[in-house]
Amino acid sequence: MTKAADETAHASPKGPDVTSTETKTSEHSGGARKLSSREGAAGDKVFSGTALSAGILILVVLVAVAAFLVLQAFPAFVAPQSQIADGKGFWAYIVPLIVGTVIAAVISLVVATPISLGVALFISHYAPRRLAQILGYIIDLLAAIPSVIFGAWGISFLAPALVPGYAWLASSLGWIPIFGGPASATGKTLLTVSIVLAVMVIPIITSVCREIFLQTPKLHEEAALALGATRWEMIRMAVLPFARPGIISAVMLGLGRALGETMAVALVLSSGPLIASLIQSGNQTIAADIALNFPEASGLSLNQLIAAGLVLFVFTLAVNIVARWIISRHKEFSGAN
Amino acid sequence: MTAIATPRRRTSLTRNRLPRIAPWASLVVGLVVGAAVSTLVGFNVFGWGVFAAIAFTIVYVAWSAAVEGGRKARDKFATCLVIGSFIIVVLPLFSVIWTVLEGGIKGLLTPGFLGTSMNGVSGIQDNQSVNTGSRVVGGIYHALIGTLLITLWSTIISVPVGLLTSIYLVEYSRGGRLGQAITLFVDVMTGIPSIVAGLFAAALFATIFGPGTQTGFVAAVALTVLMIPVVVRSSEEMLRIVPNELREAAYALGVRKWRTILKVVVPTAISGIASGVTLAIARVIGETAPILLTAGFATKINLNVFSNWMASLPTYIYFQILNPTSPSNPDPSLQRAWGAALVLIIFVMILNLIARLVARIFAPKTGR
């Protein structure tokens, strides 16, 4: 029925002229294959339909992610709270994890952001061009290393290497709560985790920032230099204002990665209840808690872990949306585009 | 003529500049001061480097401030910071690669490491190898197979879906309402933490097939959620840079749209698409958390992704480190873990290399 309708729809605008030219052309080129408009129309329909359904499938998948998480997390919210997390209830279980996750992510960003900006500037504006390309590859390599290997590196190399530093922090800056002693003797602390996370986040922020710095209009840069600006003044006046929304989105991207990172935390951190000190063992993040407890979980504790995953999902979603909002707000005023 | 012949005068523009030797002189001073300070607090090479860098920056910037004035000094300070931050980044990279090489080569070169599984290997064998000094038994064969199969299946699912979606976005939607929604959702999917993807696959299969369904295919579905947005993003970018003239030329010859896409647009962009897909594979091949939640913990070879637990390289590393086969003698487990880490890193590097080569060699000849 639809096929017939389609045929007539195709036949009427084209008319007989087109078909005759088509046959003529095919005869002219040897007549190996006769072009049939009907066959092509079906192909067009099938192909566009397939492409469309692939696109819709993505929407379905994301909705399914949310739906199944909610479905499986639901029992943890409605069950009597005395049955969850050794009688503490769900919120008493999740809030310390959220705080731990946010602390680790924020520290890693505080460490990573200035360094990433420096590296991105180095590659885009300081290093000689040939060298810059190789350095870009090196940074991409750093981004490609799997997180479990960063975790293994953190537990076997970085944590022991930081122990003397933590001892010094505890003895000389111990009056600040976050450096309260006694320092961990193994170095498996939240600060170590944050540093590992920073190392993992740096290549992400760097590669986004580098792309954006390279897009700075050459005329802006040359105008600044021609007016007598030093290289740093040129960067501050031309490059950074142009790149600001991009930098924010890069940092948010890094934040999302740091919030959701699992293996590095699960391997490095010697977890425990929430404490203020960053250099004692203790604290935990949502993702690592799920990874550590999931293999043995069943029944309601499984629902509880999935609920924790839902909280993490909502959290990262919020970060992404805020990032998008900030970028869209800044874009109007940047003046560069 | 006379103007040229006169010796160059020191004008206000050239007057106040540091001599060309200044950076090197400052470096020498910095190294000496750094050595002195680090000796005071207990000498090691790392401390020396840090103190030398700080001393160099102070000397160089202060010198510049004294001779050239504040603006130039600030410029030099920024240069020092930028170069310094680059050095800070390179250090962990080399440290990671060095640690993996150092720990992994011994494990990798152990006979049978690549060819045997962990089937039947228990704490007894590990204790024996530590006590008697015999070679460490057990290997990564099952994990290698698991990683390849899981990655293969997620590639089989996500490449067609991702590619078709990007074709829809670029060729059909052209900024329509649905296209915008898909772009937004793909962006959101990019931000999904990998462990949430694992939870989704676990919850999905638990709902359909009952709780505790853990197979390689569930892991492949979890990885697909992570892989699709990467494929869509990179192929979309590649399809967008195909010049419109090519499409218009094809339409002008009376070619149908779907044939234009399959015969003209996709072949033009194929090098970029292939490179993007390879990078996406490199990204998911090292994912640990989703597989941890979905494929269970296996020590045997399993060639069937649809039934039973399956091991993978990342989870193998994780379990060997966190739960050593012999808790009293973790060294053999660590050796195996580092060997597996080395194999995994080699995989990722090769995939990255292939992606770059594909992008470079098969790039369309533009003739420009």
Cβ burial A54-86 (10 Å sphere, 16+ → b, else e): bbebbbebbebbbebbebbbebbeeeebebbbe
Distance from CA of residue B263 to its chain's centroid?
Answer: 33
pLDDT of residue A108: 94
C-alpha distance from B32 to closest chain A C-alpha (Å): 24
Question: What's the pLDDT at B329?
Answer: 79
Say if CB B321 and CB A155 are below 8 A apart.
Answer: yes
Q: Please state which CATH class domain A85-334 belongs to.
A: mainly alpha
- Write the Ramachandran bin of B19: left for phi over 0, alpha for psi from -120 to 50, otherwise beta: beta
Nearest 5°: CA angle at A227, between A221 and A230? Answer: 65
Cβ distance of A260 and B193 shorter than 8 Å: yes
CB contact under 8 A, B317 and A152: yes
Interface test with B, best of A10, A33, A46, A62 (most B CBs within 10 A): A62
Q: What is the pLDDT of residues A315-325, one digit of tens each?
A: 888 888 887 77
Domain range annotation of chain A: 2-73, 85-334
pLDDT at residue A36 in the model: 52
The answer to whether B141 and B114 are in contact (CB under 8 A) is yes
**If you search the block for the tokens 């997180």, which residue do you land on?**
A147
Distance CA B121, CA A177 (A): 47
Dist. CA B143–CA B216, nearest whole Å: 11
Residue B348: list chain A partners with CB under 8 A.
144-146
As a whole number of angstroms, the distance between CA B130 and CA A63 comes to 52
Phi, psi angles (nearest 5°) of residue A110: -60, -35
Question: In a structure prediction context, what are the per-residue pLDDT tens digits for chain B, which is 368 residues long?
Answer: 445 555 555 555 566 777 778 888 888 888 888 888 878 777 777 778 888 888 888 888 888 888 887 788 888 899 999 989 988 888 888 899 899 998 888 888 888 788 777 777 777 777 777 777 777 778 888 889 999 999 999 999 999 999 999 999 998 887 788 888 888 888 888 888 899 999 999 888 888 887 778 888 999 999 999 999 999 989 998 898 888 899 999 999 988 888 899 889 998 888 889 989 998 998 899 888 899 888 888 888 888 878 888 888 999 999 888 888 877 778 888 888 999 999 999 999 899 889 888 888 777 665 44
ipTM associated with this complex:
0.85
Would the CB atoms of B86 and A122 count as touching at under 8 Å? yes
What local confidence, expressed as pLDDT, does residue B19 receive? 78
User: For the CA atoms of A245, A250, A253, A255, what is the dihedral angle to 10 degrees?
Assistant: -100
Q: Is A313:A98 a contact under the CB 8 Å cutoff?
A: no
Residue of A nearest to B316 (CA): A148
Distance CA B35, CA B44 (A): 9
* A90 contacts B197 by C-beta, under 8 angstroms: no
Cβ-Cβ pairs closer than 8 A, A with B, add up to: 265
Residue A319's closest chain B neighbor by CA? B191
Query: pLDDT under 50 in chain A at which residues?
Result: 1-32, 333-337
Chain A: residue whose CA lies nearest to B279: A144
Taken in order of first residue, the domains within chain B and their CATH numbers are 15-109 (no CATH), 141-361 (1.10.3720.10)
DSSP B7: P
Query: CB distance A232–B348 less than 8 Å?
Result: no
According to the model, what pLDDT value does residue B27 have? 86
CB contact under 8 A, B195 and A298: no
pLDDT of residue A193: 92
